[in-house]
Amino acid sequence: MTEKLDREQLSTEQQNVHSLDLDSRSVAEILTIINIEDAGVAEAVHKVLPEVEKAVELAVEVIKGEHRVFYVGAGTSGRLGVLDASECPPTFSAPPEWFSGIIAGGREALTKSIEGAEDKPEDAVRDLDEAGMTAGDLVVGIASSSTTPYVLRAMEYGRESGCGTVFLICNPAPLVQVDVDVLIPVDVGQEVITGSTRMKSGTATKLVLNMISTATMVRLGKVYGNLMVDLRAVNEKLVDRGTRIISKLTSLPYEESHKLLQEAEMEVKAAVVMHARSCNYDEAKILLEEQSGFLRPFLRDDSV
């Protein structure tokens, strides 16, 4: 960990031949170059879908076992981890402890650069301990370059503590040898601005994290068809969305669906079960629990 790493061999640290004269291009040309480079990110992610699948399977298993998933990163990678984790509770009514984001430098690093935070591996141990990591959890390390000491130590500490580990990088292979359960190497190639991994690497990272959390939530019964049935209507937009979902799944008029949502304490899934089984809210919650939260047993397959 203390020896000098040859980061020059990382694809994200090499110059992109398509943007060598970027500073002499017009704005329209600059935007076109960026757009063309971004277009290849989805294909790079497509190539590692089998590895992403393994990560999802681990996450589902961990959460079913009443354990937690920790995203750990520094800089852009850390911010994207915190973002993805923080959006799970409002989107899926998921317990906030299911997915947690940890960033080198702490909360202050979310809005500004904390110089040197990523180079303090000992802080990763402290931060995971403070977050309550225990054996059986899953540590997802996020580092575009694959070399971030903070992230590497987090995964190492996770393994030492009996946790599963996933390593998400944006290069063909890690520059530092790591022992993890799943390696997700998204080869995004050279960045438009050499080494600026907030660009293509950041996009790839967000795509993969969205996949991990979303697919996990689907497998845990938080989605019916492609409908966000486990949302809790806590604002005007969500009340409207929840009402429309109930109307679609029950064929009730909008106003009746809205009333049903209110009777279900603003929980869409409970409202649908109340209608399907002609029961009250408490009974609906029990029925859902018996089905591990899955709504499909209460509806015909062609309801979507």
Q: Which residues contact 46 (CB under 8 A, 6 or more apart)?
A: none
Q: How far apart are CA 215 and CA 270, in angstroms?
A: 22
Q: Are 143 and 77 in contact (CB under 8 A)?
A: yes
Strand partners, 101: 71
CA angle 90, 151, 42 (to 5 degrees): 60
How far does the chain reach from its first CA to its final CA, in angstroms?
A: 52
Q: How far apart are CA 255 and CA 263, in angstroms?
A: 13
As a dihedral over the C-alpha atoms of residue 53, residue 56, residue 58, residue 60, rounded to 10 degrees, the angle is -140
Q: Which amino acid is at 298?
A: F
Strand partners, 224: 227
Backbone angles phi, psi at 90, to 5 degrees: -70, -30
Give which of 219, 271, 221 is closest to 242, Cα–Cα. Answer: 271
Q: How far apart are CA 88 and CA 90, in angstroms?
A: 6
Q: How far apart are CA 49 and CA 85, in angstroms?
A: 20
Q: Are 117 and 123 in contact (CB under 8 A)?
A: yes
Burial of 253 (0-12, 13-18, 19+ CB in 10 A): exposed
The residues carrying an active-site annotation are 87, 118
